[in-house]
Amino acid sequence: MHHPGQIDELTDVLPCVNNIPIILPINTPHNTPMTRTWKDVERLTVKEALKEAEELREEINFHNYRYYTLDSPVISDAGFDRLMLRLEEIEERFPGLVTPDSPTQRVGAKPLPEFGTIKHTLPMLSLDNAFSEEEAREFDRRIKRFLKTAQEFEYVAEPKIDGLAVELVYENGAFKSGSTRGDGYTGEDITQNLRTVKSVPLRLLSRGKEKAIIPRRLEVRGEVYLPKEGFRKINAEREKKGEPLFSNPRNAAAGSLRQLDPRITASRPLDIFCYGVGRVDGIQFSTHMEMLEYLKKAGIKVNPLIDVVDTIEGAIKYHKKIEGLREKLGYKLDGVVLKVNNLALQEKLGMRTRNPKWALAFKFEPEQETTVVKGIEVGVGRTGALTPVALLEPVTVGGVTIERATLHNQDDIDRKDVRIGDTVIVERAGDVIPEVFCVVKDRRRGTEKPFTMPAVCPECGSKVEKTGAIHFCTGGLSCPAQLMETISHFSSRRAMDIEGLGEKHVEQFVKDGLIKDVADIYYLKKDDIVKLERWAEKSADNLIESIEKSKTPTLERLIYSLGIRGVGEHMAGVLAREFKSLSPFMKPGMEANMEAKEEELMAVHGIGPETARSIVDFFSEPQNVKVIEKLRKAGVGFPGKKAGQGVLDGKTFLFTGALRTFSREEAKRLVEEKGGIAAPAVSKNVDYVVAGESPGSKYDKAKALGLKIISEEEFRKMVQG
C-alpha cells in the first residue's frame, strides 16, 4: 500500500496547508476515485493512451505531493493503488509512452559502473558557524557594520538538518539531474538515486486555479536525510546480516545516496527538505521567504518549522525553541540556519571564499558529558557478532541517565585508545545509542587497563574469529545468543524447508527449553508440543510430518542450512560439487591441519581466504561437530555426490523470468537433485540461463556475457535426460 489513506472523496476546494491554497480542478476523475471506470487497455488507441497516461501522471504526482510533502493525503490507499496500476498497465501496453519523469520510474535503474560529475552553475558554499548566543549577535553586528546601518532587518530561521546537501535541477518543470555538494563547485552525479526518493518530485506541480509558474530552469538546493525510525530499521537489518552498523543517520543517508546500484537507494526511506535555489531562469523573487513559498507551491518539500524573525534576538529565541523540540522531531538536527531575508541585501553582502556573508549555522550544544569507564563487557548478537560495551559511571546526557555506551568493535577501541578506568566523553545524539566519543587522556593516572576482545565466546565458549572489523563466535549451531537466528535459517525454505516452524514457534520452543540447538528440532515429540499454548493435535501432527520430510535434503541444502559465515546457496553448491560430501570436513584433527585445509579450499575457484577460514573455523569448533553428529543420529540424511551421478552433474543454472511448469524453488531443487548447481546471480561461471516469461535484468547481463540461454522446454528435456 502506498498511502495510509483516510479519505475516499474530495471537495473542489481543499483547506490551506502551509499557507498554500490547494485547489483541485472541478469535474476531474478525482471526485469519484472509488467508482471511476476505464476503457480496456487493449482497446485504447495510441492517442487515447497518451492522453490518459498524461492525466494519470499529473494526478498521481498531485497525490504524492499531498502525501510526501504536505503529509495530508486526500485519497485512500486503494484509490491510489488503482491509479498506479492503471498507469503501469498503459505503459506496459505502450512502452513508447514511458517518460523519465513517470511515477512508475522510481524503482531504481541498472547499477552504474561509477559516478559521473556535475558542475554547479552557482557554487554550493558551506556556512560559517556560531556556537553561542554572543557569536550569533556578533554575526548580526558584523552585517550592520558592513551595511553601515543600525536598522534591524528580517532573518529567515530554519532547522539545520543533519544530512547530505544536494542540488536538484528542473528544466521546464521536469527533473533533469541531481548531484551532491561535492567541493562546492563540482558534485557527484546521483540523478538515478535521487529519482528513487519519493519526496523529490519528478515534475513540478502546476495544477489548480493558482498554478505555479514553471521556470525554464530551476536549481533547488536541499538536504537529503534519513528519518530516525528509518535509521533504526536499517541498522537492525544490518546487524541481522552481520554487517557493520551506520554510526549515525547522516552517514546512513550519505551511504544510501552514494550507492552505485539505485535499487539499494530505493529500498531506503530517504527524505528531503529544500532550503534554497541556485540559478533560476523565468521567475524572480524579492525575499528568501518568497522563494521558499514558491518552492512549496511548486511541490518541493520545505520544512514547516521555517519562520521569519524580525531581529537577532528573535532568531536566538527561535534557536532555543527548536532545540527544545529536538528530541521530539523524527529527524536529526544539529542547529538552526539564519539567513538575511532580503535578497537585495544578500547580493550586497556577497560571499567570502568559502561561505556567504549573509548566512550563519547557529549550532546546538552537543549532547556530550564526561564520565569514567568502569569496565568493558562483550555482548553477542543474533548473528554471532561480538560487540564491546563500556560500563560507565552514571551520567545525565540530554536529560537521560547513561550507564552503558557502545564501543562498536576492537578497531574502534584501538583507534580511540579506550582503556578501563579512562575518563571519556560520551555522546548521545537524539535517540541514537550512546557512544564513547573520545578519551580525556590528560586525566590518565597510569592505572588504566587496555582491553582486548575475548578469544572465546562469552555465551558458549566457542572460538572467536575476526572477519574484517568484527569478531564473530564460531559456535553457530549451539551458541545460545545465536539460537533464534540459527534455527530460522536452518528451517527456511531454501535450507531444510521445515514448514510450520515460524519465528513465534521457535521462540516458544526455545523459551520452554525444548530446543537448545538445531538438532533438537528432530527430537521434538508431539506430546510435548500439544502442551504448549496455541498448539492443537492437528498442528502438532503437521509440524512433526514436516520435520520428517526434511530429513532427506540435497547436499547443497544441507551445507547451506548449517549457516556457515560466507557460505550462501551458490557457495554451498560449489562445496557440494567439489567435495561430494561433508566427510572431508568432519575428519578428526581438522583444527591441527587448518592451514593445509584452508589452502585446499582456496584452490577451488570462487573460494577466497575469508570464506576458507570461516569454513575451517566452523568445522574445527567441537560444539558444531557435536550438533552435526546429533543430526545424523536423529536420522537426518547426509547425502554424498559421485561424479556423473546426475544428468546435470557439474552444470550451473540460473533462472530468470516466470516459469510455467515449475515454481522457481521447484526448478532449483530439481537442478540440485540432478547433480547441478542453482546460481543466485549472473556470472561467467553459469553454464545455462533458463529464460522464462518476461525475463528481467539478469537476462540482459547474461546476453552481454555471452552465456548460453535456453527455454524452459529445453531445460525440462535436459532434466529428463
Q: What are phi and psi of 99, to 5 degrees?
A: -110, 155
CATH code, domain carrying 244: 3.30.470.30
Task: Report residue 381 as a C-alpha cell.
Answer: 548478537
On whether both 168 and 271 belong to a single domain, the answer is yes
CATH number at residue 501: 1.10.150.20
How confident is the model at residue 207, as a pLDDT?
58
For residues 380 and 492, membership in a common domain is answered with: no
In a domain, 109, yes or no: no
Q: What is the CATH number of the domain that holds 396?
A: 2.40.50.140
Name the domain boundary from 340, 363, 386: 363
| More confidently predicted of 238 and 374 | 374
- If you compute the radius of gyration of the chain from its CA atoms, what whole number of angstroms results? 30
- Annotated catalytic residue, options 160, 297, 332, 698: 160
Question: Domain check: are 359 and 417 in the same one?
Answer: no
- Chain segment 674-698, per-residue pLDDT in tens: 777 777 778 887 889 999 888 888 8
* Residues 694 and 574 reside in one and the same domain: no
Cell, residue 219 = 536549481
Q: How many CB atoms lie within 10 A of CB 85?
A: 10
Same-domain pairing of 254 and 205: yes
Residue 600, domain member (yes or no): yes
Verify that 261 and 297 share a domain, yes or no: yes
Please check whether residues 508 and 611 belong to one and the same domain: yes
What CATH number did the domain enclosing 703 receive? 3.40.50.10190
Give dist(CA 457, CA 479) in Å, integer: 8
- The answer as to whether 468 is a domain residue is no
For 333-358, how does the pLDDT look when each residue is reduced to its tens digit (9 = 90+)? 889 999 999 999 999 999 887 789 99
> Which DSSP string corresponds to 205-233?
---SSSPPP--SEEEEEEEEE--HHHHHH
Asked, for residue 454, whether it belongs to a domain, the answer is no
Q: Given this model, what pLDDT does residue 83 score?
A: 86
Q: Position of cell 552537543? A: 366
Report how far residue 581's alpha carbon sits from residue 596's, in angstroms, rounded to the nearest whole number: 19
**Three-class SS state of 65:** helix
**Do residues 497 and 622 share a domain?**
yes
Using a cut of 0.85, tell me whether the model's pTM lies above it.
Answer: no
Give the residue-averaged pLDDT of 526-541. Answer: 90
CA pair distance 30, 27, nearest whole angstrom = 8
Dist CA 248 CA 597 (whole Å): 40
Evaluate if residue 569 carries a pLDDT over 70: yes
Residues 547 and 612 in one domain: yes
**Domain boundary pick from 607, 639, 671:** 639
Any domain includes 702:
yes
Q: What letter does residue 2 receive in the DSSP assignment?
A: -
More confident residue, 183 or 688: 688
pLDDT at 4: 36
Cα distances (Å, whole numbers) of residue 109 to 204, 259, 261, 278: 22, 12, 8, 27
- Domain ranges, residue 169: 128-363
pLDDT at 705: 87
Let me know if 160 is a catalytic residue: yes
Residue 188 main-chain phi, psi, to 5 deg: -80, 140
- pLDDT tens digit sequence for 108-125: 555 556 788 999 999 998
- How many structural domains does the chain have? 5
End of a domain among 337, 363, 389? 363
Residue 500 — very low, low, confident or very high, per pLDDT cuts 50/70/90? confident
573 shares its domain with 600:
yes
Mean confidence (pLDDT) of the chain: 84
Least confident of 135-149, 242-256, 511-525, 657-671: 242-256
User: Which position has the higher pLDDT, 400 or 143?
Assistant: 143
The rounded percent of the chain whose pLDDT value lies above 70 is: 88
- Name the grid cell of 226: 534519513
**pLDDT category, 14, cuts 50, 70, 90?**
very low
Indicate whether 395 and 497 sit together in one domain: no
Reported as a pLDDT band with limits 50, 70 and 90, residue 606 is: confident
Q: Is the pLDDT of residue 244 over 70?
A: no
Between 301 and 101, the higher pLDDT residue: 301
Would 123 be classed as within a structural domain?
no
For residues 565 and 494, membership in a common domain is answered with yes
pLDDT at 580 over 70: yes
